[in-house]
Amino acid sequence: MSLIFPEETDNSYVILRPAKPMSFTAFTLCMSFGSELNLLRETILSSYYNSGDALNLWVEYGIFNVYLLHSNPVSFKLPHLNTFWTNLCVTWESSSGLIAVWVDGKSSGRKVYRQGHKVQDGGIVILGQDQDNLGNEFDKKQSFIGEITSVHLWDYVLSSDELCLVSQGHTEPRLF
């Protein structure tokens, strides 16, 4: 299944309904995407909103940012993302706070972010738009334009071997 966002809009998005509660102290979030959009603007990939930005993935002016648990983002400088398919994964584990971004099976340097915190259930997961309020208040200047596929979320950190397999299209077991 592939999701196509053909143009800048404030009303084109996809709501995901998790099979399990979104309550966890570790995760691996992966997706594949391609876009011709000039990523020198704010561009949302995924938004989980629960009384604030609980887990958001952004490309902002060429820098990849993860917003976790209503805080300032942690930022990663990634290779230029373009129309060719990119597999992107983010891993985070609360007890150590270690977070990393994986692009096509290759890891960024790890950083420490939001150590000791927990993602809480009760929010809404949306692809392609940023929620400024629970499930609404979208800004077309932040919308994703392109194609997204293979969105998966695990409630634990996948090993480096598993992440390499995910980048090749292997995705079991999956939460969504």
Q: Is 174 inside any structural domain?
A: no
Structure tokens at 140: 């077309």
Amino acid at site 146: G
13 in a structural domain: yes
Q: What is the CATH number of the domain that holds 94?
A: 2.60.120.200
* Structure token pair of residue 147: 């194609």
Q: Distance between CA atoms of 63 and 53, rounded to whole angstroms?
A: 18
- Tokens linked to 44: 């949302």
* Euclidean distance between CA atoms 31 and 88, whole angstroms: 5
In a domain, 173, yes or no: no
**CA distances for 73 relative to 40, 83, 176, angstroms:** 17, 25, 24
Let me know if residue 42 belongs to a domain. Answer: yes
The pairing of strands 53-60 and 42-49 is: antiparallel
Q: What is the pLDDT of residues 104-160, one digit of tens each?
A: 999 999 999 999 999 999 999 999 999 988 888 899 999 999 999 999 999 999 999
- Give pLDDT tens digits for 83-109: 888 999 999 999 999 999 999 999 999
pTM of the model: 0.92
